[in-house]
Structure 1
């Protein structure tokens, strides 16, 4: 049901935030403190915790309770997509007044005017497009911090600049909550460019992606995620392995399900395995080809999202 008034008049949007966390209580505390400083603050904050250690879960729950501005959930421990779905399902069931949702990791600090900027931009969008407008800002880390660029997914499923935005900068984005009522994050993707797969599906459902430079956030721990440790003798991190597996899965799903074309799917697979073989050969890690394919769960592309 539309959250907008008659003749396109704006009913004040209400924002939910889904925070995914794992093993970082102090970092989570800073994230929640910043959300409390926002003007206006989000109407709902849900923290989903994928920590395995019961003591760490207790510490994170204590952080949420002390912050006083969120709901704590024990996460499913099946990857970041399942963790986000755990949080957004709670929003859909228990936050009836919310119209939009953002997804951030525990090491992200949003700017204090983040939700004010989102509300202002929504008011400027034509009434017919508001309910299906996804807002995205600039990068949260790296040499192009806060630069708001129009990104798309290349044929080989790499990010590149394009004329119209077809991808989001996830930690500086605002989605209509209704997008997640039908299908959420694809839980077959453990980690890696999962936001690009979500954007592909959203665009096919008639959603648009709108650039908004005023939506800004900052990654306080770039490159130090829990998957960035070396995976042993291969010389590859779990992050690298997960991203390559996700690229295989997303490419096949794109050309088999989302934008079906048997010829393009076959061409993608040819390009993908050529690129991957060169990538692994340079790192003397050809033995990881099989594990990457298994990690991708590519045979399950028709079972989610």
Structure 2
């Protein structure tokens, strides 16, 4: 547990016996130096996270060995070899270990290896949670603002549009995944959907969480920074078409999430038909404009959409 406290005479003194415990699930793939910087940064946080688990999806053994050596330089951090089935499976791998071996963790955050949390990240989360009624604390998800771009750290309420794009809304329905704090209890009965390799997987998780009584709270002081925006390992061109692997996976995820959303999470036959029709019209126009029609089949295959229209146990 945390031992970080303030002066007992201070109005914001936190009794360490009642301070929430935070876990961090770090997902990495093929970026040894970036992982090292991420873990160095986590060590600077005050208070520190109570549990840090690294799940490594690197495809080659040499990189995994180098990452394991980086983790070994950080006492208490756990290294796991990842399942190499996408970001959702990688996060689940780290999360399951955290829940099984550190059951006292009350909250959990998910960061990629290129994310730098603000040094007061957990202090801000702890103080905001302390201000909430006890009945709400384990059903609220905290989120800060954007971690990159021209509006960095601006904290705006976002929602998922009908067609599966992030847009501003009246009430928050989405989070900035790298500046978010989730109640660990959420993952004791739910997980990231491993049918999604990459792309709006956080929005899909939130669609389910909001329907089970969870809420999202905007906390502008909860900050994180993306140190390598737009330069992920999926930004190389897909050999089967003109799009990058990142773009293929994002379009595939949008199809899968839309079908699941209107078929199961928020079942509505008319919306399901409308979404499917408009999705393929928009997708075809998008691919034609980019002379990337060859990416159509890879997008459909990557979407795993057959699993969402198949038996319910497959989701």
Indicate the TM-score class for this superposition, using the shorter chain for normalisation.
Answer: over 0.9
**1:168-187 to 2 correspondences below 5 Å:** 168-187=175-194
SS at match of 2:163: coil
CA shift for structure 1 position 233: 6.8
**1:104-123 to 2 correspondences below 5 Å:** 104-123=111-130
CA shift for structure 1 position 23: 0.8
User: CA offsets, 1:116-139, max 9 Å, x none?
Assistant: 000011011222211100000011
User: CA offsets, 1:24-52, max 9 Å, x none?
Assistant: 11111110011011000000000000011
Partner Cα distance (2:213, 2:239) in 1: 44
CA shift for structure 1 position 206: 0.5
CA shift for structure 1 position 73: 0.2
Equivalent residues of 1:36, 1:69 under 8 A apart: no
Which portions of structure 1, spanning 4 or more consecutive aligned residues, are displaced by more than 3 angstroms?
A: 302-305
Residue in 1 that maps onto 2:306: 299
Partner Cα distance (1:253, 1:232) in 2: 28
User: RMSD across aligned C-alpha pairs, in angstroms?
Assistant: 1.3
Q: Which of 63, 82, 97 is the equivalent residue of 2:70?
A: 63
CA shift for structure 1 position 285: 1.3
Q: Which of 218, 229, 235 is the equivalent residue of 2:225?
A: 218
Equivalent residues of 1:31, 1:108 under 8 A apart: yes
Residue in 1 that maps onto 2:253: 246
Q: Which of 180, 197, 202 is the equivalent residue of 1:195?
A: 202
- State yes or no: 1:284 paired with 2:284: no
Q: 1:31 to 1:79 in 2, by over 3 A?
A: same
CA shift for structure 1 position 102: 0.1
Residue in 2 that maps onto 1:5: none
Residue in 2 that maps onto 1:124: 131
CA shift for structure 1 position 232: 3.7
Give the TM-score normalised by structure 1: 0.95
SS at match of 1:85: helix
Equivalent residues of 2:28, 2:56 under 8 A apart: yes
Number of aligned residues: 297
Residue in 1 that maps onto 2:9: none
Residue in 2 that maps onto 1:44: 51
| Structure 1 gaps, min length 5 | 1-8
SS at match of 1:135: strand
Partner Cα distance (2:86, 2:133) in 1: 37
Equivalent residues of 1:29, 1:67 under 8 A apart: no
Equivalent residues of 2:240, 2:298 under 8 A apart: no
Q: 1:304 to 1:219 in 2, by over 3 A?
A: farther
CA shift for structure 1 position 304: 5.3
CA shift for structure 1 position 190: 0.3
Q: 1:97 to 1:233 in 2, by over 3 A?
A: closer
